[in-house]
Each structure stands twice: as C-alpha cells, then as structure tokens.
Amino acid sequence: MDLIRRSFIAGAAAAALALAAPFATAADRFITVSSTTSTEQSGLFKHLLPVFQARTGIEVRVVALGTGQALDMARRGDADVVFVHDKAAEEKFIAEGFGVKRQEVMYNDFILVGPKSDPAKVAGGKDITEALKAVQTAQAPFVSRGDKSGTHAAELRLWKAAGIDLDAVKGAWYRDTGSGMGPALNTAASMNAYILADRGTWLSFKNRADLTVVVEGDKRLFNQYGVILVNPEKHPHVKKADGQAFIDWVVSAEGQKAIADYKIDGQQLFFPNAAK
C-alpha cells in the first residue's frame, strides 16, 4: 500500500512540474536592450515597454548607458538589441559585423541649456556654433557629459564645427562629468552652467534651478535614434527571434503611435520616423 501511495505522490509531483514548466518558461522570456540614457531617463521606456510586453509576453530589460558604452556592451555579446543615437557609430558597429541591420525609429533635437543670467549672451540665437564660440570666449561654465555617449559625440562635432580645439582651450570653465544626461544636468544646475542636452531628458528633468533653453532650432541639432539587432553569427546566444520581435514592434504602426503618444505637460518628446 505504501508503495502504491508513494508512486501516486511521485506521479502527481511530476505532473505538477510538467504543467508548471511552460509557465516558468513564459515568465522568464526576456531580452536585454543596451540603450542610451535619454530613452530611459526621459521616461520613454516606462511608457513603451509595458505595451510591448502585454502584446508579446516578452520582457525587455534595459541597460541604460552612453551610446558608446551601449555599443561596446553589445560588441561583447551582453545585449540582444541596441537602441542608440549616434548614426556614425552605429554604422561602424554594423560594418564591423556586430549588428545585423540599422533601422531608424524616431528623432528629437538637442538644445543648448544655460543660466537665465546668460553670461555668454547667446539666448535666443539659432546658430549653435556661434553660441559655443561665445561660451568659450566668455569662459562661461560649461558641463559636458564626457562619456562617449551620442550626446557627447554630438557636442564634440559641434565644437569642431565652431572651429574650436577643445584640447587646446579647455580650462576650469569646462567640466567633464563622465555621467548620463540626468546627472550631467544636475551638475549644470548646481554650477549654473551651459550644457548640451537632448530635449527629451530636459522636458522630464525637474531640478532645473536657474537653467533655461537658450539656443534651439539649428538643423545641426537634429537627433536621430536607431535600433539594431546584435548579430547572432557573432554571438550565438543572442535571442534573435525575440529581439527582432521588439524591433519589428517599435517600428510598426502600433509602436510608432506609442512613441508619438508619450508626452510631458502636453509636449511630445520623440517623433517617430521609421516609415519616413
């Protein structure tokens, strides 16, 4: 009798495990996305990802870094997808064989933020290079992310376009922080300094202190975002199907509408352009 009872209990336990296994697998279904800090700190992913997970059952785990670090993470095979904003770096990543295909997703713009007192006298201008020249001439405090992010890369391109050799003119007025957009804005607020920021993070940023937008609207401040599947031929453990499902959704009509619908105080932070 004991033998029959033990056999019954063992069989019931095995059946329970068999029934539970599919649910455990479904619950553990996730991808890792290495992304720029602006998509995370602006609140966009908190808005988008629950919609995607409800639609597909796939959880997205985001590691928010500067674009350069996000691409390096993917080069090591530590991500399934990259979602960043430095087209030249993204194209290099693909040329090296680490990415499958780059797809454009959305855009916004960069802005020059600075103190309301405006010691460099640049407020209201539309030429970002002239503004940077004025900041450097005035030796006005300027905060840089200094983290090889997409924003940092854009800042360096703009200094170069302004004809300014940063290595030659850097001084106490110029502060490298090596930090994400939010922390860099906090530093600028505490220093009453100028800073190049993406508009999405600025709109979601609460600790503005005496800072305001001083220069915007220059076409050179355009900020495009792209998404790339990490190449499974380089890293066979990449979750190709689920990673591609995320990419397909974010560039789909539903995903693009979800991006457009994300607003703060009635202001749209990102503008979808996958089907431009």
pLDDT higher at 27 or 242: 242
Which pLDDT band holds residue 168 (cuts at 50, 70, 90)? very high
> Which range, 57-61, 146-150, 177-181, 199-203, has the best average confidence (pLDDT)?
57-61
The 10s digit of each residue's pLDDT in 5-25 is 444 444 444 444 344 434 334
Quick one: pLDDT at residue 213? Answer: 98
**Whether pLDDT at 197 is above 90:** yes
Q: What are the sequence ranges of the domains in the chain? A: 9-108+224-272, 109-221
Percent of the chain clearing pLDDT 90 (strictly above):
88
Q: What is the mean pLDDT of residues 144-157?
A: 94
If you average pLDDT over every residue of the chain, what do you get? 91
32-59 in b/e form (b: 16+ CB < 10 A) is bbbbbbbbbbbbbbebbbeebeeeeebb
**CATH topology classification for 109-221:** D-Maltodextrin-Binding Protein; domain 2 (3.40.190)
The 10s digit of each residue's pLDDT in 215-251 is 999 999 999 999 999 999 999 999 999 999 999 999 9
Q: Assess whether the region 9-108+224-272 and the region 109-221 belong to the same CATH fold.
A: yes
Quick one: pLDDT at residue 19? Answer: 42
Q: What is the reported pTM?
A: 0.84
Q: What is the mean pLDDT of residues 247-264?
A: 97
CA distance 194 to 188: 7
Q: Which residues pair with 32 in a beta bridge?
A: 61
Residue listed under structure tokens 């450097």? 136
Taking CA atoms, 175 is separated from 39, 62, 120, 161, 191, in Å, by 24, 28, 16, 20, 10
CA distance 170 to 158: 15
CA distance 219 to 239: 37
Quick one: pLDDT at residue 27? Answer: 52
Which pLDDT band holds residue 275 (cuts at 50, 70, 90)? confident
Q: What is the mean pLDDT of residues 13-41?
A: 67
Quick one: pLDDT at residue 130? Answer: 98
Quick one: pLDDT at residue 174? Answer: 98
Q: What is the mean pLDDT of residues 98-111?
A: 97
CATH homologous superfamily of 9-108+224-272 equals Periplasmic binding protein-like II (3.40.190.10)
The candidate with the shortest Cα–Cα distance to 234, out of 108, 46, 137, 94, is: 94
Quick one: pLDDT at residue 28? Answer: 79
Question: Are 150 and 85 in contact, with CB atoms under 8 Å apart?
Answer: yes
